[in-house]
Amino acid sequence: MPSLEEARRLILDHAVPLGTESVELIDSMGLVTAEDIVAPWDMPLCDNSAMDGYAVRVADCGGSAKLRVTGFIPAGSLPATSLLPGCAFKIMTGARIPEGCDAVVPFEETDGGCEIVTISTRVRAGQHIRFTAADVHRGEVVVPAGELIRAPEISMMAALGKSRVTVFRRPRVAILSTGDELVALGEDVVPGKVIDSNGVTLAASVKECGANPELLGIVRDTRASHIAKMTVGLKADIFITSAGVSVGERDLVREVLTELGMSQVFYGVDVRPGGPTTFGVLNGRLIFCLPGNPVASMIMFEELIRPAILKVMGYKRVLRPHVQAVLQESVSKRAGRVKLLRVRLESSNGAYKAFSSGDQSTGMLKTLTRADGIAVLPAERTSFTAGDEIEVHVISSNAVMLEA
């Protein structure tokens, strides 16, 4: 049975980016470039003013200079003439610098004159001018292939006129819930039955990664129904099943998937909760079988499936932030297996404090709704006390930010 780390390594070894596609720039957010983005022109495109003020000639300034204001260049218009000695043009931020001008003096450093402007500050050549190509040279690679597209990359591509971009495509992730006890969300639930919360939870988590979930619904614990839906699920890029993966007498998931051609990479991970998690492959497709317990299912999605989806999407960094935190209470566990503890994080003076977020029985969903992270308690140790340093995988990005 692989350790959590080994399981992740085995999975990531099988996860490779899918094909590429061209998308509208706005739809590329959170995806990864599959082409080098090359600047078709210089940026800025021409020398322009960085301030609202006066375009001047440095040679005319010095002491208390009085210059004749002979022109006005608003943003978006071009200077009609060149700037003559002894003269100044009023100029707005972003407007093109006129011929003859070699500095801009901001309004607040002048008397603001309309016909004659007085400048009494020292003026340096080139001041408050944004020079052609100061930011980007034509032909330069501004966003290399393999880069995650965030708002700054969108901004750069938009500024360079790029309205479509080639990216690694979003994987289709099929999700199937199994179990005789399940009822669909929205239907009546009676004692003994359980709402299929895993389906929608997994779909939401897949969406958060930027991939496309496909909910296949619920199948009963019969071979025929398993075969019918699993045949569909195996057509997706990634297939996730929920429940029926333990050794219960009706746990058919692995058996049927194997019959349908899955080759099992591992059955079970040396970790609690989430132990029975299974991973297999078929024709380059990734297949994950999660335990039915909602907490185990979510934690295993976090630890194993999310990194795989991101890698398939072309991400180089596929893990959430890991932080060292100081445990604030004592915790005990069984020897021999890594325990994943749901914790709440507090940060003070740059250090993290970790608190257990509640009863750690696998059935306790509330403990996960209150958690900011998953602490990885090493296999060998059985007792931890307040003050111990532990590693926490941060699952709620707000946990590493300051409260507003």
CA distance linking residue 208 with residue 106, whole number of Å: 46
**Phi and psi (nearest 5°) for 6?**
-65, -40
Judged by beta carbon distances under 5 to 8 A according to partner kind, the member of ligand AMP, Mg ion, none in contact with residue 177 is ligand AMP
| Extended strands (E) in 220-284 | 238-242, 263-267, 271-272, 278-282
Judged by beta carbon distances under 5 to 8 A according to partner kind, the member of ligand AMP, Mg ion, none in contact with residue 212 is none
Structure tokens at 248: 């219960």
Q: Provide the 3-class DSSP secondary structure of residue 100.
A: coil
Residue whose CB is less far from ligand AMP, 118 or 369: 369
- Cβ of residue 249: shortest distance to Mg ion, in angstroms? 10
Site for ligand AMP (CB under 6 A): which residue of 21, 35, 181, 391?
181
Judged by beta carbon distances under 5 to 8 A according to partner kind, the member of ligand AMP, Mg ion, none in contact with residue 156 is none
- Cβ of residue 294: shortest distance to ligand AMP, in angstroms? 5
CA distance linking residue 113 with residue 3, whole number of Å: 75
Question: What part of residues 164-223 is at the interface with Mg ion (CB under 5 A)?
Answer: 179
Judged by beta carbon distances under 5 to 8 A according to partner kind, the member of ligand AMP, Mg ion, none in contact with residue 33 is none
Q: Provide the 3-class DSSP secondary structure of residue 6.
A: helix
Binding part of the chain for ligand AMP, among 19-27, 108-116, 176-184, 374-382 by CB under 6 A, reads 176-184
Residue whose CB is less far from ligand AMP, 27 or 181: 181
CA distance linking residue 202 with residue 215, whole number of Å: 9
CA distance linking residue 129 with residue 127, whole number of Å: 5
Judged by beta carbon distances under 5 to 8 A according to partner kind, the member of ligand AMP, Mg ion, none in contact with residue 181 is ligand AMP
325-353 b/e (C-beta count within 10 Å ≥ 16 → b): bebbeebebeeebbbbbbbbbebeeeebe
Judged by beta carbon distances under 5 to 8 A according to partner kind, the member of Mg ion, ligand AMP, none in contact with residue 196 is ligand AMP
Residue whose CB is less far from ligand AMP, 205 or 242: 242
Judged by beta carbon distances under 5 to 8 A according to partner kind, the member of Mg ion, ligand AMP, none in contact with residue 52 is none
CA distance linking residue 56 with residue 125, whole number of Å: 10
- Cβ of residue 202: shortest distance to ligand AMP, in angstroms? 9
Residue whose CB is less far from ligand AMP, 102 or 302: 302
H-only helix segments in 195-234:
197-209, 223-233
273 binds Mg ion (CB under 5 A): no
Judged by beta carbon distances under 5 to 8 A according to partner kind, the member of ligand AMP, Mg ion, none in contact with residue 242 is ligand AMP
Site for Mg ion (CB under 5 A): which residue of 31, 119, 175, 243?
243
Helix or strand holding residue 355 (H, E): strand 351-356
Residues 403 and 396: beta-carbon distance below 8 Å? no
Q: Can you say how many angstroms the Cα of residue 282 is from the centroid of all Cα atoms in its chain?
A: 28
Residue whose CB is less far from Mg ion, 165 or 243: 243
Mask for 226-255, x = binds ligand AMP (CB under 6 A): ----------------xxx-x-x-------
Residue whose CB is less far from ligand AMP, 218 or 327: 218
CA distance linking residue 104 with residue 126, whole number of Å: 8
Own/partner pairs, 191-196, CB within 8 angstroms, 24+ separation: 196/242
CA distance linking residue 220 with residue 201, whole number of Å: 19
Please spell the DSSP secondary structure of 75-102, one letter per residue: TTS--SSPPPTTEEEEE-TTPBPPTT--
Mask for 187-206, x = binds ligand AMP (CB under 6 A): -------x-xxxx-------
Structure tokens at 393: 């995988």
Mask for 283-302, x = binds ligand AMP (CB under 6 A): --------xxxx--------
Residue whose CB is less far from ligand AMP, 33 or 198: 198
In angstroms, how far apart are the furthest CA atoms of the chain? 95
Site for ligand AMP (CB under 6 A): which residue of 177, 277, 356, 357?
177
The binding site for ligand AMP (CB under 6 A) comprises 177, 179, 181-182, 194, 196-199, 242-244, 246, 248, 291-294
The binding site for Mg ion (CB under 5 A) comprises 179, 243-244
